[in-house]
């Protein structure tokens, strides 16, 4: 089964019209919380500011979506937009060529570009230069863009950079204390905003927020730290886990009914062969019967050999129970044509096949001896005949990807399989660890230099890992990560911002090296070193 079939199983289980948490979905609606004010601010600054504009945030914070919304909401008659990604042009020459191509200019030097901007201005059109993945730009490219944003007497374009937070300290060094750019840092969603975001995504796919419990929503918000990209990923994994758990429970009672038709046909042929052997044994108890051979209608592949042991006939005339020797081994039927690709996990399980029901996988046989079918003794107390059974040879079947269930012909009930172990509850932080984490967080909550940050040497460095507009989100992040994380409060654009930092390092190099030791989720936020003196100034400036 391909990944497309697995996705179809996911969509079919929840009756989605499309994957609600895909990167691009049909009829997507812009989620206004935490982003609509930024969009309005960008339009305002583009009109009145003379500075280069930067929108920063970790991966998955919605920078690209905000850039798309900015282009879509501009007047196409009054704005000429040039959009490209820095991943395809990271040096100064490549950036200038991309801009020249967008402006239909042959020369890519700054003077020619600014002259074309002035010509477009005379026709009533402003020029927007929007560069995504701006953290990939080198310093020469950033310096060239700062010069373009400053413009000249003829004209100037409006330059927008969308990149991760590591871009800001590099721009500060290039600005050398001058006010040459304006930065807007995106904020994570609060838990209520996360719930509303999930509801909008699910409603767009034809369902509602009731698919997720309050506990699941809270867990999604905690794991994603409120960033929309991570919310999409965690929410999808949560729904898949719930689907697999539901289908796993249903499969315990109806596994045999969900087997593919070709496997059921193979089991039927084997059962007929065993029944024929038993009937021939009853007809003649003294003379051995000639081996009987059955043919499968599924091609020329042989079926597993059937060994009829010497069962005793019960008094009530019912046949003995039949069990497959080595029933835990997969018994696949031969595939027609080329083999299909192996399905991917965990969505492969969503199709209802289970781990061993991989209809397209080809597995080598465990040994050269094919699986056999043997009969077991009848229930105790029943009268039996002692005549030996003649061996019956049934067609050999190639190993199947799913284990063949036991064929029970006797009245003796099967012993129920032990219930599957319940999944372990997710580990939670010990109370003592949380208490340790809360102390430094409480000390830094005031944002003043007299707290924990004020006691650190100004020349030392910390890693800035997160910025959020709500204190509860910062506290939850600190509690989840441990005692080495702290946060302080500062003011950005007139609004409070809670910044989470990690560690205390004697040098920038030591802080940079510590980034690789952080958890993957924290590294995804692109931490960057920051001096304690700058933190103390920001905390006091509020």
Of the three residues 155, 185, 215, the one that is the final residue of a domain is 185
CATH of the domain at 438: 3.30.70.1070
* CA nearest neighbour of 269 among 299, 314, 310: 299
Is the domain of 132 the same as that of 217? Answer: no
Answer for the pair 532, 459: CB distance below 8 angstroms, yes or no: yes
Is the domain of 324 the same as that of 435? Answer: no
Is the domain of 129 the same as that of 202? Answer: no
* CA nearest neighbour of 308 among 376, 407, 406, 408: 376
Q: How many CB atoms lie within 10 A of CB 41?
A: 16
CA dihedral 456, 457, 460, 461 (to 10 degrees): 30
| Structural domain includes residue 83 | yes
Residue 155 confidence class, pLDDT cut points 50, 70, 90 = confident
pTM of the model: 0.47
| Structural domain includes residue 471 | yes
Is the domain of 404 the same as that of 262? Answer: yes
Is the domain of 527 the same as that of 512? Answer: yes
39-89 pLDDT, tens digit per residue, is 999 999 988 888 999 999 999 999 998 999 999 999 989 999 999 999 888
Answer for the pair 530, 463: CB distance below 8 angstroms, yes or no: yes
pLDDT for res 285: 53
Is the domain of 107 the same as that of 15? Answer: no
Sign, CA torsion 448/451/452/453: positive
Is the domain of 287 the same as that of 356? Answer: yes
* CA nearest neighbour of 490 among 461, 513, 469, 507: 469
Is the domain of 405 the same as that of 263? Answer: yes
Supply φ then ψ for residue 539, to 5 degrees: -70, -35
| Structural domain includes residue 390 | yes
Is the domain of 143 the same as that of 44? Answer: yes
| Structural domain includes residue 425 | no
* Segments in 205-288 forming alpha helices (H): 214-224, 228-254, 261-283
pLDDT, the chain, mean: 74
Q: Count CA atoms within 13 Å of residue 190 on its CB side.
A: 10
| Structural domain includes residue 420 | no
Distance of CA 414 to the CA centre of its chain: 41
Taking 50 as the threshold, does the pLDDT of residue 418 lie above it? Answer: no
What pairing do the DSSP bridges indicate for beta strands 322-324 and 79-85? unpaired
289-332 pLDDT, tens digit per residue, is 444 444 444 444 444 444 444 444 444 444 444 444 444 444 44
Of the three residues 213, 230, 250, the one that is the final residue of a domain is 250
Residue 390 confidence class, pLDDT cut points 50, 70, 90 = very low
Cβ neighbours of residue 395 closer than 8 Å, sequence gap 6 or more: 269, 293, 294, 295, 296, 301, 302, 303, 304
| Structural domain includes residue 78 | yes
Is the domain of 171 the same as that of 241? Answer: no
What pairing do the DSSP bridges indicate for beta strands 495-505 and 485-492? antiparallel
What pairing do the DSSP bridges indicate for beta strands 495-505 and 461-468? antiparallel
How close are the terminal C-alpha atoms of the chain, in Å? 58
pLDDT for res 171: 93
| Structural domain includes residue 171 | yes
Indicate the number of domains in the chain: 4
Of the three residues 233, 250, 267, the one that is the final residue of a domain is 250
pLDDT for res 495: 80
Greatest mean pLDDT among 131-135, 380-384, 393-397, 447-451 lies in 131-135
Answer for the pair 104, 202: CB distance below 8 angstroms, yes or no: no
Answer for the pair 128, 81: CB distance below 8 angstroms, yes or no: yes
| Structural domain includes residue 424 | no
* CA nearest neighbour of 161 among 179, 146, 150: 146
Q: What is the mean pLDDT of residues 27-47?
A: 86
Is the domain of 326 the same as that of 342? Answer: yes
* CA nearest neighbour of 133 among 94, 173, 167: 167
Domain that holds residue 306: 258-362+372-409
CATH of the domain at 102: 3.40.50.300
Is the domain of 168 the same as that of 266? Answer: no
């Amino acid at each position: 089964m391909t990944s497309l079939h697995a996705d179809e199983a996911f969509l079919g289980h929840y009756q989605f019209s499309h994957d609600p948490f895909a990167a691009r979905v049909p009829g997507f609606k812009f989620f206004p919380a935490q982003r609509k004010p930024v969009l309005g601010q960008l339009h305002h600054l583009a009109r009145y500011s003379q500075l280069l504009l930067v929108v920063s945030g970790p991966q998955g914070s919605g920078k690209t979506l905000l850039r798309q919304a900015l282009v879509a909401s501009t007047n196409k008659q009054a704005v000429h937009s040039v959009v490209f990604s820095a991943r395809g042009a990271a040096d100064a020459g490549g950036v200038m060529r991309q801009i020249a191509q967008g402006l239909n200019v042959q020369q890519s030097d700054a003077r020619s570009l600014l002259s074309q901007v002035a010509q477009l201005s005379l026709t009533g059109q402003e020029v927007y230069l929007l560069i995504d993945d701006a953290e990939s730009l080198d310093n020469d490219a950033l310096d060239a863009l700062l010069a373009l944003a400053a413009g000249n007497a003829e004209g100037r374009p409006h330059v927008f950079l969308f990149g991760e937070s590591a871009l800001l300290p590099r721009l500060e060094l290039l600005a050398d204390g001058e006010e040459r750019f304006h930065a807007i840092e995106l904020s994570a969603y609060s838990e209520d905003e996360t719930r509303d975001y999930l509801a909008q995504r699910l409603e767009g796919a034809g369902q509602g927020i009731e698919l997720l419990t309050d506990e699941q929503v809270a867990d999604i918000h905690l794991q994603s730290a409120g960033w929309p990209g991570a919310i999409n990923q965690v929410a999808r994994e949560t729904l898949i886990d719930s689907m697999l758990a539901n289908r796993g429970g249903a499969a315990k009672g109806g596994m045999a009914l969900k087997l593919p038709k070709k496997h059921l046909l193979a089991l039927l042929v084997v059962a007929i062969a065993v029944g024929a052997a038993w009937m021939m044994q009853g007809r003649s108890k003294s003379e051995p019967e000639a081996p009987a051979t059955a043919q499968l209608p599924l091609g020329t592949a042989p079926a597993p050999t059937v060994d009829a042991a010497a069962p005793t006939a019960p008094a009530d005339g019912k046949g003995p129970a039949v069990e497959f020797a080595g029933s835990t081994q997969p018994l696949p039927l031969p595939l027609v044509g080329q083999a299909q690709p192996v399905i991917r996990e965990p969505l492969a399980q969503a199709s209802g096949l289970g781990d061993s029901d991989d209809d397209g996988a080809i597995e080598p046989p465990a040994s050269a001896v094919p699986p056999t079918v043997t009969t077991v003794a009848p229930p105790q107390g029943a009268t039996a005949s002692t005549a030996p059974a003649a061996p019956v040879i049934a067609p050999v079947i190639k190993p199947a990807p799913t284990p063949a269930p036991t064929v029970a012909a006797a009245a003796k009930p099967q012993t129920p399989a032990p219930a599957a172990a319940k999944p372990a509850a997710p580990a939670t932080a010990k109370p003592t660890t949380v208490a340790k984490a809360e102390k430094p967080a409480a000390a830094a909550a005031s944002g003043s230099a007299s707290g924990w940050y004020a006691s650190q040497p100004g020349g030392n460095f910390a890693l800035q890992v997160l910025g959020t507009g709500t204190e509860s989100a910062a506290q939850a992040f600190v509690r989840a990560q441990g005692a080495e994380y702290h946060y302080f409060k500062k003011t950005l654009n007139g609004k409070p911002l809670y910044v989470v930092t990690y560690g205390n390092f004697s040098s920038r190099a030591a802080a940079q090296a510590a980034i690789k030791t952080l958890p993957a989720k924290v590294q995804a936020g692109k931490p960057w070193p920051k001096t304690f003196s700058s933190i103390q100034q920001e905390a006091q400036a509020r």
